[in-house]
Amino acid sequence: MTTLPQKELLRPDEVARYFSVSRKTVYSWIESEKLQAVKIAGSIIRITRDSVLNCQRKRKENENNQTVVD
């Protein structure tokens, strides 16, 4: 995981790099409402920083809640 840029609205490629996933995955997360995005000038997509941080928190919680079965 890279460092999240210090700005309120992030490009999909920045979010993808942060989570080490593809841009396609980021767009899927937007569509499924795991990430909140806004459109600027009709077609430019930006993802809110708070949304990214919330997604990160939820992913960590899910990882911590998984149990290992022997």
* CATH assignment of the domain containing 55: 1.10.1660
Asked if the structure places residue 1 within a domain, the reply is no
Place 68 in a pLDDT band, splitting at 50, 70 and 90. low
What's the domain range around 27? Answer: 9-64
Question: pLDDT tens for residues 12-51?
Answer: 999 999 999 999 999 999 999 999 999 999 899 999 999 9
Comparing 6-15, 42-51, 61-70, the range with the smallest average pLDDT is 61-70
Asked if the structure places residue 42 within a domain, the reply is yes
Residue 68's SS3 state is coil
Asked if the structure places residue 32 within a domain, the reply is yes
**pLDDT of 67 higher than 70:** no
pLDDT of residue 55: 93
**Cα Rg of the chain (Å, integer):** 13
- CA pair distance 39, 46, nearest whole angstrom: 6
pLDDT of residue 56: 92
Asked if the structure places residue 3 within a domain, the reply is no
- CA pair distance 15, 22, nearest whole angstrom: 9
